[in-house]
Each structure stands twice: as C-alpha cells, then as structure tokens.
Amino acid sequence: MAELSGKYSSLAEAVSAQLGERARPLNRPDLGLGYEVEPADLLDCCRVLRDSEGLAFDMLMDLCGVDYLSYGQDEWDTSSATSTGFSRGVSGGQPGEGAAEVLYQPVRRFAVVYHLLSITHNHRLRLKVFCEEEQRPMLDSVIDIWASADWFEREAFDLYGIVFRGHPDLRRLLTDYGFIGHPFRKDFPLIGNVEMRYDPEKGRVVYEPVSIEPRTLVPKTIRDDNRYKPDLKDG
C-alpha cells in the first residue's frame, strides 16, 4: 500500500490487525484510508470496525452506490477537457430506447462505498463492497450496525437498483413510486423512459411516453460588448 501519513499509518496497522486479509487496501492515499471487503464479510467487518476499541467507527457518514459500466473508457481523445459525458447526451438513442452503446463491460459492475467516522479518534475510513450479481445487485443492510444507513440505502436502491437484504422499509426515496428504472445507472437514457404531468380531467398525475426529441444541450456564451467591436480591435 502507498505510504500514509501520521495517524492514518497507525490506523492502517490497527485495521490490518483486526480484519487481516478480509480487508484489502485501496491504494489511493490521496483519497484517505480505504479498504475493499467481500460481500460475505461485510457485516462482520463493519461490526469489528464499530466495536473495536482502537477503531471505534461509530458513525456512518454516507453510503453511495457506484456503477462501473464503461469505467476507464474514454469517449474521445482529449488533452485539455473531460473525456466523458458529452457524447452520451448526443447519441443517447431515441426516447425510451436507452443510452449509447456500451463500450466496456466490467467484471463487477455495481459497488457500494461506506464512509465511516470515528468520533472518539477523529478517524475516517472508506469501505468498498462489490455486488456479486449485475442483474440483481444485492448486499446485506448495515442498518442494524449504523441506524443512519436507513435513508442512505434507500437512496442507493432508488438511484442504482441495489437491493439491501434486511432493510425494514426499502422503498424509493428521491423518485416517484411509479418511476421506471434507476436514473444513476450509466445505461439509463438522459431523457428518461417516461414523462409525467397532471391531468385535470382525471384529477391525478399520468405517465406518458417521452415526447421530447434527443438534443444536445451545450452552453454557449455570445459576448456582445465593446471588447468585441471590430473597429476597436488591433489591425
């Protein structure tokens, strides 16, 4: 593992002593201390991280899903700007047909990242767990270890479709109950699958096929002031 500074070097030793080979270091010291664990070891490792006196990670600060579809694949060559994101909006297909062609298929697509905090020791740690299946990504819920996982797991379920076994109320959180799909997945169309509006005759919200055409939304600044008048420019 790359060299860590100060207290995190001691923390890494403590984590290694408690979890051993079950925790594989994420070699990104610029992002802080992080480890990857297998799904089967998740709950046990989380309890150790919370209950061990030298670790005492008593707070789950955040939990987020990650979709590694097309990870590491550039959409075009560039040296001075972002190399991803634009062409998916340009060539995202017809309404409701899905996003652009996937160029890269990862071995493990979905992961969950847990951001932990020890109030006692003022330590932070990231824990990453990959879901075993792509078609139905699933992990054990950590809500019995950290109660704050409740809405975090609901958010990851809503946006990525990751199911958390043992969650007492796993429902959508940010989208509507009738929403189709999971909008943070890389293959989710930017224009969505359906559109909704309020129908005054029916007295309720109705869902309809997407009516807008795919379009490119590129910010463009048109400057029209004295600096750009032709007669003020040098010859």
Cα of first residue to Cα of last residue in the chain, in angstroms, is 59
Say if residues 86 and 75 touch (Cβ distance below 8 Å): yes
Q: Which of 224, 226, 197, 221 is nearest to 211 (CA)?
A: 197
Other Cβ atoms less than 10 A from the Cβ of 160: the count is 24
User: Residue 129 in contact with residue 37, Cβ under 8 Å?
Assistant: yes
Strand partners, 113: 64, 128
Report pLDDT digits (tens) over 143-200.
999 999 999 999 999 999 999 999 999 999 998 877 888 999 998 887 888 888 899 9
Structural domain boundaries, residue 18: 6-69+105-189
> Is 168 among the domain residues?
yes
Total of domains in the chain:
1
CATH number at residue 17: 3.30.460.80
The pLDDT score that the predictor gives to residue 98 is 42
Q: Is residue 83 part of a domain?
A: no
214, part of any domain: no
Q: State how far the Cα of 154 lies from the Cα of 150, in Å rounded to an integer.
A: 7
pLDDT per residue over 5-38, tens digit each? 667 888 999 999 999 999 999 977 677 899 999 9
Considering the domain boundaries, does residue 170 fall inside one?
yes
- In degrees and rounded to multiples of 5, residue 44 shows phi and psi of -65, -45
In a domain, residue 226? The reply is no
Cα 84 from Cα 78, distance rounded (Å): 10
- Residue 59 makes CB contacts below 8 A (sequence gap 6+) with 116, 117, 118, 119, 146, 148
| 136 domain-assigned | yes
Tell which residue, 187, 185, 139, has the closest CA to residue 160.
185
Residue 21 lies in a domain: yes
State the Cα–Cα distance between residues 199 and 207, nearest whole angstrom. 10
Is residue 137 assigned to a domain?
yes
